[in-house]
Amino acid sequence: MSFYDWTDDLSVGHHGIDDQHKQLIDLINRYHDTLARKAARSALVADFKAIAEFAIRHFRDEEAEMTRCQYPQRERHKIIHKQLLDRVGTLGQQLVKGEAGIEMQIQFFLKSWLTAHIKGIDQQYSPYVNRKASAA
């Protein structure tokens, strides 16, 4: 059993965005596995960096989709993305410095962040994405 599993209730109704969310879950599981096997800090840093880099690309794609479907809250969503990336940057710095307990803090932040973000924020634009898709 993995640390974090995709479930259908995480779907935003857009195949490409859902696939990217699944990839983020895979990356979070990789970080968890690296942590569980007590790998070197450099391996954790590399896994976390991969998550951060993928999140940047994902947010860019998500924001482009919101623009395409004329989602009225896209500017607010972009601000939330920036705040999340700022938090990820801070956590990454703490990981590199080796702050006590940061590894576990990151693990649980990633899971709770992604779940809360998808269910609380991303699913709000689902009706706009689906309406645009059905009108095309």
What are the pLDDT digits (tens) for 43-69?
999 999 999 999 999 999 999 999 988
**Confidence bin at 132 (pLDDT 50/70/90):** low
**Confidence bin at 128 (pLDDT 50/70/90):** confident
Alpha carbon distance 82, 88 (integer Å): 10
How much is the pTM? 0.90
Check residue 73 and report its DSSP letter.
T
Task: With respect to residue 131, please indicate whether it lies within any of the assigned structural domains.
Answer: yes
Alpha carbon distance 114, 86 (integer Å): 15
Task: With respect to residue 4, please indicate whether it lies within any of the assigned structural domains.
Answer: no
Task: With respect to residue 9, please indicate whether it lies within any of the assigned structural domains.
Answer: no
Alpha carbon distance 84, 109 (integer Å): 11
The torsion defined by the Cα of 121, 17, 72 and 78, in degrees rounded to 10, comes to: 70
The rounded percent of the chain whose pLDDT value lies above 70 is 96
Coil vs helix vs strand at 22: helix
Q: At what angle do helices 15-36 and 102-120 cross, to 10 degrees?
A: 160
Query: Of 92, 86, 85, which Cα lies nearest the Cα of 31?
Result: 92
Task: With respect to residue 129, please indicate whether it lies within any of the assigned structural domains.
Answer: yes
Alpha carbon distance 104, 38 (integer Å): 12
**How many structural domains is the chain composed of?**
1
Q: Do residues 56 and 132 touch, judged by C-beta distance below 8 A? A: no
CATH number, residue 121: 1.20.120.50
Tens digits of residue pLDDT in 66-116: 998 889 999 999 999 999 999 999 999 999 999 999 999 999 999 999 999
Range of the domain at 102: 15-135
Alpha carbon distance 4, 7 (integer Å): 9
Task: With respect to residue 66, please indicate whether it lies within any of the assigned structural domains.
Answer: yes
Task: With respect to residue 1, please indicate whether it lies within any of the assigned structural domains.
Answer: no
Task: With respect to residue 8, please indicate whether it lies within any of the assigned structural domains.
Answer: no
Look up residue 2 and give its amino acid. Answer: S
Task: With respect to residue 52, please indicate whether it lies within any of the assigned structural domains.
Answer: yes
